[in-house]
A = this chain, B = another copy of it.
Amino acid sequence: MMASPLKVGLAGLGTVGASVLRLIDRHREPLAARCGRPLEVVAVSARDRHKDRGVDLSRLRWFDDPRQLAVDPEIDVFVELIGGAGDPAKAAVEAALAAGKSVVTANKALLAAHGVALAERAERAGVALNFEAAAAGAIPIVKTLRESLAGNEVSRVYGILNGTCNYILTRMEREGLSFAECLKDAQRLGYAEADPSFDIEGHDTAQKLAILASLAFGIAPDPDAVYVEGIASITPEDLQAADQLGYRVKLLGVALKTAAGIEQRVHPTMVPKESAIAQVMGVTNAVAIDADAAHEITLAGPGAGGAATASAVLSDLADIARGERALPFGVSAKRLKRSEKLPMQRHEGGYYIRLMALDRPGTAATIARHLADEHISLESIVQRRPGTATHGGDDPASVAAPVPVILITYATTEDAVRRALAAVQAAGVVAGTPQVIRIEKT
């Protein structure tokens, strides 16, 4: 004998919503066997009722307004796939929780902006607010942090959380192409939006990181507490230099326990080529967790796409169908500490620095002196003269051309690096602005 079905109302019928409908239909029997009861979508809401989505909606009740669907007496669970931090997504989720419905959402923007308030409402109502799909797509990172690592103290969580950026960096590295060329290709292939700034400037990664940091460290999710830097300044020359020095460049989100608090940052990052995270290519996402008992766990998989995201939505629905009511952020929302933005100047780590040194006597000594003044020690120095063959020849222009110098520092502070480079620039021995990429130990 099987229990009564879990009745689902689904708002938002984009690629993810349509995939959820298809998966529930395709896997009806095994889902019922795994959940102890059938999952049944009874009503949907979207903007355009007449658009062809390749799924049969004829037996489902239709709501023009997701807020009305959210409080419909027939549904047990409201699935929010509308997106956006504001209304109608926010109002609909609030209405569902107020009506005592469990909620499943893939909406990282909503959680990053209003996660604590929504979790408090869910806890008061004694219902679930599940969001496996909000970070890293099909990768079960939310349940891993919230449940599987319950007996651990996490010291760091970091990962590749944006497939668009990783696709671009992978293409740049493999084919020596410029950022602009690879971005254009990503747009053509549908991996990047027409307005790509949210992805390539790191804000998408910051929202996801804020959610993961909340689960890992018991702090309120807050993207404003995340230092953010995008990938637009990375050049093929940086990727080649990284490769020669045993590194790859990835856009990482990193949340790290430090003596001063939880440091949260998103920026292009050098990672050792042999590390697990460096192997992650193309649109794939990956998250690594350092914890006291589990040591290091790495999870990799598709971070986006209709079916992969729907897989995470189904995971949340199955948990609710089986009666699980985990606290949304792992601990009561009231216990979440405020996220403080740590000043990036105090960040400690190794640095990759690429300078265009002017080719005149004393340049090397000047650079070395300013680094030494800030107590920065160098692990390696690479200087290559692109025009070696003609250097010192008849053409006076080639003599004056600046020479790229790559420096890898031992652990120092961001502050020291910035001061040293300001002094080097003020001394007039380099052309342009130095490129600086932080190195992450893995």
- Closest chain-B Cβ to A316's Cβ sits at a distance in Å of 9
Q: Are A297 and B151 in contact (CB under 8 A)?
A: no
- Closest chain-B Cβ to A4's Cβ sits at a distance in Å of 17
Give the contacting residue for A300; candidates B138, B298, B305; CB below 8 A. Answer: B298
**Known contacts A151-B310, A315-B150; is A294 also within 8 Å of B34 by CB?**
no
Q: Check if A327 is an interface residue, CB within 8 A of chain B.
A: yes
- Closest chain-B Cβ to A393's Cβ sits at a distance in Å of 42
Cα–Cα distance between A241 and B63 once the two chains are bound (Å): 63
Which residues of chain A from 318 to 351 have a CB within 8 Å of any chain B CB?
Answer: 318-319, 322-327, 330-332, 335
Q: Which residues of B contact A293 (CB under 8 A)?
A: 19, 23, 138, 307-308, 310-311, 314
Give the contacting residue for A151; candidates B36, B139, B311; CB below 8 A. Answer: B311
Q: Are A295 and B307 in contact (CB under 8 A)?
A: yes
Q: Which residues of B contact A57 (CB under 8 A)?
A: none
Give the contacting residue for A150; candidates B26, B31, B326, B335; CB below 8 A. Answer: B31
Stretch at the interface among A140-148, A197-205, A402-410: A140-148
- Closest chain-B Cβ to A439's Cβ sits at a distance in Å of 20
Q: Which residues of B contact A319 (CB under 8 A)?
A: 147
Bin chain A's interface residue count: 35 or more
Across the interface, name the chain B residue whose C-beta is closest to A153: B27
Cα–Cα distance between A307 and B152 once the two chains are bound (Å): 10
- Closest chain-B Cβ to A267's Cβ sits at a distance in Å of 24
Q: Which residues of B contact A232 (CB under 8 A)?
A: none
Cα–Cα distance between A143 and B148 once the two chains are bound (Å): 8
Q: Are A297 and B139 in contact (CB under 8 A)?
A: yes
- Closest chain-B Cβ to A326's Cβ sits at a distance in Å of 6
Q: Are A302 and B307 in contact (CB under 8 A)?
A: no
Q: Check if A234 is an interface residue, CB within 8 A of chain B.
A: no
Q: Which residues of B contact A147 (CB under 8 A)?
A: 143, 315, 318-319
Q: Are A34 and B330 in contact (CB under 8 A)?
A: yes
Q: Are B24 and A297 in contact (CB under 8 A)?
A: no
Q: Check if A276 is an interface residue, CB within 8 A of chain B.
A: yes
Q: Which residues of B contact A30 (CB under 8 A)?
A: 153, 218, 331
Q: Which residues of B contact A314 (CB under 8 A)?
A: 150-152, 293
Q: Which residues of B contact A311 (CB under 8 A)?
A: 149, 151-152, 291, 293-294
Q: Are B33 and A149 in contact (CB under 8 A)?
A: no
Interface CB pairs A-B, < 8 A, 24: A19-B293, A24-B151, A26-B153, A33-B331, A34-B150, A34-B331, A35-B150, A140-B149, A144-B144, A147-B319, A152-B314, A276-B276, A276-B279, A276-B300, A292-B307, A293-B314, A294-B302, A295-B301, A295-B305, A296-B301, A297-B300, A298-B300, A299-B300, A322-B326
